[in-house]
C-alpha cells in the first residue's frame, strides 16, 4: 500500500474483476444532446451555441505507436487523440483534456462498449469541435486559447488506468489497457513538443476528471523541472456516499472495504503533489442519479422527477440534496487548506462544465463572486489571485445552468 498511484491502480484492477457498472455509457453524447435542453431563460444562448467555425473542428489522429506496447482500446483498435497546435505566446504551452464517459466493469458492459466510441476508435468522430477550455478564441477561453491543445479519447472503460492483468478471457476478447494508453499518449505528445513545455495543464471531465487526479503527478514527472504544471479535475470528485436507503452504491461491489479507503478522489487527492483545481457542481446530476438516488433506491418512483430536474424537488428532497452538498464540502475540507489548490463548487444541477462554452466562459456563464470558471481557473493557474470559491446553497445562485431531463419522460 506504499505508492498512492499503485494503490489507485490496484483499485482499478480489483474493480475490473467485479461485475459492476456505473452505467454512464455515452455520457458525452447525452450531454451534447442535452445541451439543447438547458434551462434556456437566458436570452443570448443562441449566439453562444452557434459560435463555432471550421477552424474549431479538429481531426482525429490514431496513435500508431500504441501497437508496439499493445496499448489498445477495448476492442483492440488503436487509441486516438485530437491535436490543435498552439500559436503566439502559447506555442510552448500545453493543455491536455482527458475525455470522460463513465466506466464499464463487466464482460457484458465492456463488450457493449466495443461497439461505441467509448470502446473503439472505429466509431470515433473524425472531427470534433474544440470549445470551452479547448477553444482557440480568447473571448471563449481568455487564458488558454493559444496553447497547444489535445483531446485524448477515452476507449479503455477504466479512466485510463486499466491493466492487462485484469483482462477477461472466457471467449470474449477485451483489452483493458488504459494505463498503457496513457503511457503511449504521453510518449507521443512528448515527441510532438510537450517535452519542451513551459506551462502545462492536465484536465479532464467526469471519468476523465478522475483520470486527471490519478495521472496528475505522473504528468508532472514527465515535464521539465522548471515548467509550471498543474491539474484541473472537472466533475471528477466522486463521493463515497451512501444512497438514500443507506446502501453504498459506489462501494457495493468491493469485497475489501479496507482497500477501498484509497479509491475515492478524497483519498487520492491527499497524495497528489502537483497543484490541483477541483471544479464540481454541488448538485452533480450524475452523482445524484447514480450515487445518491440510483434507480434501485426509490422503487416506487418517488424521486422520479426530482432526480431529473432540481426544480421539481420538494423541500424534503432538497434537504437530502443539501446533505449531499454538505458531504462534498466536508470531503474537500482538508483540500481547501492546501496553499496551491483551487476550488470552484457552484450550486448548480449539472455535471461537466469546462468544455461547454456556455458554462466555461460566456456572458451568461455560472459565476461565483462574479467570476466564471475560466476566470477562476486562470487566476489560480497564473497565481493572480487565490481561487477557492464555494457557492451558497441552492437556489441562491441565479447564474446557474440547471439541467432539466424531464423533457425525456
Ligand atoms: C469465466 O468462466 C469461468 C467458467 O465458465 C467462470 O468460473 C468465471 O467466473 C468466468 N470469468 C469471468 C470473469 O466471468
Ligand atoms: C415530497 O415528495 C415525497 C414523494 O412524493 C413525499 O413523500 C414527501 O412527503 C414530500 N415532502 C414534502 C415536504 O412535501
Ligand atoms: C462582473 O464582471 C464583469 C466582467 O466580467 C463586469 O463587467 C461587471 O461589472 C461585474 N459586476 C459586478 C457586480 O461586479
Task: Give tens-digit pLDDT for 55-112.
Answer: 799 999 999 999 999 999 999 999 999 999 999 999 999 999 999 998 886 777 888 9
Query: Considering the domain boundaries, does residue 312 fall inside one?
Result: yes
Query: Considering the domain boundaries, does residue 10 fall inside one?
Result: no
Q: Distance from the CA of 288 to the center of ligand 2, in angstroms?
A: 18
Closest CA to 302 of 349, 245, 247, 348: 245
Query: Considering the domain boundaries, does residue 86 fall inside one?
Result: yes
Measured from the Cβ of residue 85, the count of other Cβ atoms closer than 10 Å reads: 14
Residues 6+ apart with CB under 8 A from 38: 45, 358, 401, 403, 404
SS3 assignment, position 201 = strand
Ligand with an atom nearest the CA of residue 142: 3
Atom of ligand 2 nearest to the CA of 303: 4
Torsional class of 138: left (φ above 0), alpha (ψ -120 to 50), beta (otherwise): alpha
Question: Using CA positions, which residue lies closest to atom 14 of ligand 2?
Answer: 314
**Domain CATH number, residue 341:** 3.40.50
Ligand 2: residues within 6 Å at CB? 302, 314-317
Query: Domains in the chain: how many in total?
Result: 1
Query: Considering the domain boundaries, does residue 263 fall inside one?
Result: yes
Q: Distance from the CA of 369 to the center of ligand 3, in angstroms?
A: 9
CA 131 to mean position of chain CA atoms = 15
pLDDT at residue 46, as a whole number? 36
pLDDT at residue 96, as a whole number? 98
Residue 108: half-sphere exposure toward Cβ, Cα within 13 Å = 6
- Beta carbons of 397 and 300 less than 8 angstroms apart: no
**How large is the average pLDDT for residues 252-262?**
36
Query: Considering the domain boundaries, does residue 219 fall inside one?
Result: yes
Query: Considering the domain boundaries, does residue 75 fall inside one?
Result: yes
The pick from 170, 171, 173, 176 for probing ligand 1's pocket by mutation, whose C-beta has the most ligand atoms within 8 angstroms, reads: 170
Ligand with an atom nearest the CA of residue 107: 1
Q: Distance from the CA of 314 to the center of ligand 2, in angstroms?
A: 6
pLDDT band at 335 (very low <50, low <70, confident <90, very high): very high
The grid coordinates listed for 34 are 442535452
The grid coordinates listed for 405 are 431531463
pLDDT at residue 256, as a whole number? 35
**pLDDT top residue among 85 and 40:** 85
Residues noted as catalytic? 206, 284, 351
pTM, two decimals, is 0.85
Task: Tell me: pLDDT of 4 over 50.
Answer: no
Rounded to an integer, what distance in angstroms lies between the CA atom of residue 243 and that of residue 265?
Answer: 18
Mean pLDDT of the chain: 84
- Beta carbons of 209 and 104 less than 8 angstroms apart: no
The grid coordinates listed for 160 are 485510463
Query: Considering the domain boundaries, does residue 87 fall inside one?
Result: yes
Domain that holds residue 326: 20-408
Residues 6+ apart with CB under 8 A from 24: 101, 102, 103, 206, 207, 286, 290
Task: Tell me: pLDDT of 40 over 60.
Answer: no
Ligand 1 near 170 CB (within 6 A): yes
Task: Tell me: pLDDT of 1 over 80.
Answer: no
Q: Distance from the CA of 144 to the center of ligand 3, in angstroms?
A: 21
The torsion of the CA quartet 297, 298, 303, 308, rounded to 10 degrees, works out to 60
Query: Considering the domain boundaries, does residue 352 fall inside one?
Result: yes
At CA 274, angle to CA 93 and CA 85, rounded to 5?
A: 15
Task: Tell me: pLDDT of 36 over 60.
Answer: no
Amino acid at each position: 500500500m506504499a505508492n498512492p498511484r499503485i494503490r489507485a491502480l490496484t483499485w482499478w484492477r480489483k474493480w475490473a474483476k467485479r461485475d459492476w457498472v456505473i452505467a454512464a455509457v455515452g455520457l458525452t453524447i447525452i450531454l451534447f444532446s442535452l445541451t439543447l435542453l438547458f434551462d434556456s431563460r437566458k436570452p443570448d444562448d443562441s449566439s453562444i451555441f452557434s459560435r463555432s467555425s471550421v477552424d474549431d473542428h479538429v481531426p482525429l489522429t490514431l496513435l500508431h505507436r500504441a501497437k508496439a506496447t499493445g496499448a489498445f482500446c477495448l476492442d483492440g483498435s488503436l487509441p486516438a487523440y485530437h491535436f490543435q497546435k498552439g500559436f503566439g505566446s502559447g506555442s510552448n504551452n500545453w493543455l491536455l483534456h482527458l475525455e470522460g464517459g463513465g466506466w464499464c466493469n463487466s464482460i457484458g458492459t465492456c463488450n457493449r462498449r466495443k461497439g461505441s466510441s467509448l470502446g473503439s476508435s472505429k466509431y470515433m468522430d473524425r472531427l470534433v469541435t474544440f470549445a470551452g477550455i479547448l477553444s482557440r478564441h480568447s473571448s471563449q477561453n481568455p487564458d488558454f486559447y493559444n496553447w497547444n491543445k489535445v483531446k485524448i479519447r477515452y476507449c479503455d472503460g477504466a479512466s485510463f488506468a486499466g491493466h492487462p492483468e485484469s483482462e477477461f478471457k472466457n471467449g470474449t476478447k477485451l483489452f483493458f489497457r488504459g494505463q498503457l494508453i496513457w503511457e503511449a499518449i504521453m510518449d507521443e505528445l512528448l515527441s510532438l513538443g510537450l517535452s519542451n513545455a513551459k506551462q502545462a495543464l492536465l484536465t479532464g471531465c467526469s471519468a476523465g476528471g478522475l483520470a486527471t487526479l490519478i495521472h496528475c503527478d505522473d504528468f508532472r514527472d514527465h515535464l521539465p523541472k522548471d515548467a509550471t504544471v498543474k491539474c484541473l479535475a472537472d466533475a471528477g470528485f466522486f463521493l463515497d456516499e451512501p444512497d438514500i436507503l443507506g446502501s453504498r452504491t459506489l462501494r457495493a461491489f468491493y469485497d475489501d472495504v479496507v482497500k477501498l479507503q484509497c479509491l475515492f478522489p478524497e483519498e487520492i487527492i491527499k497524495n497528489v503533489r502537483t497543484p490541483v483545481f477541483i471544479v464540481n457542481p454541488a448538485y452533480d446530476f450524475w452523482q445524484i442519479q447514480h450515487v445518491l438516488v440510483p434507480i434501485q433506491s426509490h422503487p416506487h418512483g418517488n424521486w422520479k422527477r426530482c432526480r431529473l430536474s432540481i426544480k421539481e424537488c420538494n423541500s424534503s428532497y432538497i434537504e437530502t440534496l443539501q446533505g449531499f452538498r454538505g458531504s462534498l464540502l466536508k470531503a474537500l475540507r482538508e483540500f481547501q487548506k492546501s496553499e496551491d489548490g483551487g476550488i470552484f463548487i457552484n450550486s448548480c444541477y449539472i455535471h461537466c462544465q469546462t468544455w461547454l462554452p456556455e458554462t466555461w466562459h460566456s456572458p451568461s456563464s455560472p459565476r461565483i463572486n462574479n467570476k466564471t470558471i475560466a476566470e477562476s481557473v486562470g487566476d489560480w493557474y497564473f497565481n493572480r489571485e487565490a481561487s477557492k470559491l464555494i457557492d451558497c446553497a441552492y437556489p441562491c445562485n441565479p447564474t446557474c445552468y440547471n439541467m432539466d431531463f424531464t423533457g425525456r419522460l
